[in-house]
Amino acid sequence: MEPWILLLGAGIALGCVSGHLYTAPDSCEGRCGEPFSEEDECHCHTDCEREHNCCEDYERHCGPDGFSSSRDSITDQELLELSEQLYGVDHNKARPSDIAINPQHLAGPDETGDKQDRSPQPLYKYVNEELFSKPTYASFIKLLDNYQRATGREEEVTAEELREQDRFLQEVMKTELMKKLFAFLQGKNRYGSEQEFVQDLREMWFGLYSRGDGERDSSGFEHVFSGEVKKGKVSGFHNWIRFYLLEKQGVVNYFSHNFDGPWDTYPDVLGLQFSWDGFYKEVGSAFIGCSPEFEFGLYSLCFLARPGRACHLSLGGHRLSVQTYPWTKSTYGGGRRFIATAYVMSP
């Protein structure tokens, strides 16, 4: 495995406890018949009993009288096929003429941590800001200033901010991409109605929890898309729109990149180093040029299908992976988990 593969996501394993909807790495809930993968802690395929590598709850979920149906498990092949479909219906993504980036210095594994700015120019040479007038972009951007980036400081959510959350969810659910994702999840008996799906998205992404000393100071959306500062370092911050807007303001300084994906159109994937008001991100990762609904939908899919594990996808014939982790210290809705983090990796 190449060093940059290990570095690109730069996430921290938080562990995983099974929730009502989510497949956990140490459980067969929702995983009966799932193909064997060396990455899994334990297994739920039909030969696991003979091979003595089943999860402890295999019989309870996958036996003749089990709670889970194999037809409701999400297979690796289905993830590859669905991600290609979502890629194909991302109608709001940037066209090649909408963005020009200047990656400049390619950092080696021994350079990502030394906090040296090896790229004198900004990352973004040009962005067609007409993109930002599209409803999903406009409603997404309104959410970005709703957060205090320092962990340990309680988030105060105003009525206006709640309306902005609802508006964003309404806009993304109008897209073909999110309708296709919902139809797939409904077919897997994850949700009975679109209303139930939207309510769960609201909780898993915008529900508050504590990364600090009991203050409700964080959410999945804040961490992944807006970014946080914890213990003097940038935490999360995986969104290209947020990066562009802050770089334009002069508060983000691009240093270098350690990976540039194989795509010759958008979305692309970039692993990068940067500082935010002097706080450093050693290895970040971001889709470049995707729509907000694409990133939001893909991360949601992987969180539901493979929380705590690599979620292997395909975009435009190229393989890549998304890593998500659930927040394990608090729950909502009878044991469901909030999103702790989500980020794109290499294959």
Catalytic residues: 223, 238, 281
Give the whole-angstrom CA distance, residue 104 versus residue 125. 11
CB atoms near residue 278 (< 10 Å): 9
How would you class 20 by CB atoms within 10 Å of its CB: exposed for 0-12, middle for 13-18, buried for 19 or more? middle
SS (H, E, C) the chain: CCHHHHHHCCCCCCCCCCCCCCCCCCCCCCCCCCCCCCCCCCECCCCHHHHCCECCCHHHHHCCCCCCCHHHCCCHHHHHHHHHHHHHCCCCCCCHHHEEECCCCECCCCCCCCCCCCCCCCCEEEECHHHHHCHHHHHHHHHCCCCCCECCCCCCCCHHHHHHHHHHHHHHHCCHHHHHHHHHHHHCCCCCCHHHHHHHHHHHHHCCECCCCCCCCECHHHHHHHCEEECCEEECCCEHHHHHHHHHHCCEEEEEEEEECCCCCCCEEEEEEEEECCEEEEEEEEEECCCHHHHHHHHHHHHHHCCCCEEEEEECCEEEEEEEEEEEEEEECCCEEEEEEEEEECC
Give the whole-angstrom CA distance, residue 225 versus residue 140. 9
CB atoms near residue 331 (< 10 Å): 18
